[in-house]
Structure 1
């Protein structure tokens, strides 16, 4: 579920979001879009298959994408 939410934030935008969240999302998009296209691009960004795909390919994700996801998730826990 968390990877799906993260990917949705990576691939979508929303004007009503606060500036720090937009910056975090921009980092995710910058570092993870290539991994999404490489490993999971045949699935709709908001589909449940993407979560499973990212989980299945976690070890293959680029170090920058893995770091961006980790940072994003830590930021979400802090609120």
Structure 2
């Protein structure tokens, strides 16, 4: 039985954001901001969270403004404002 990809990607984006965060859990807004970019730029890396993270970092210049805003210069999600 195959799961719909949306049921796989949501939890992966959660894990992705958790691996880049220092202590903060990603907000719904952060997940919503980056999920389209995962599909658009890094779909070939699904379901490997480590590779998705690396892909988003590699593609930082091509990220949507909302997803780019999630990441600060250290690569960690911003905890305030989202």
- With structure 1 as the length reference, what TM-score do the two structures score? 0.55
Query: Moved runs in structure 1, 4+ residues, more than 4 A?
Result: none
2:49 to 35, 47, 50: 47
The answer for unaligned runs of 5 or more in structure 2 is 1-12, 18-23
Query: Which structure carries more relative contact order (alpha carbon 8 Å, separation 6+)?
Result: 1
Separation in 1, partners of 2:50, 2:35: 17
The answer for unaligned runs of 5 or more in structure 1 is 1-6, 11-19
2:65 to 47, 63, 66: 63
Q: Give the structure with the larger helix fraction.
A: 1
1:1-79 map, 5 Å: 7=13, 8-9=15-16, 21=25, 24-70=26-72, 73-75=77-79
Q: Across the two proteins, how many residue pairs are aligned to each other? A: 59
RMSD (CA atoms): 2.9
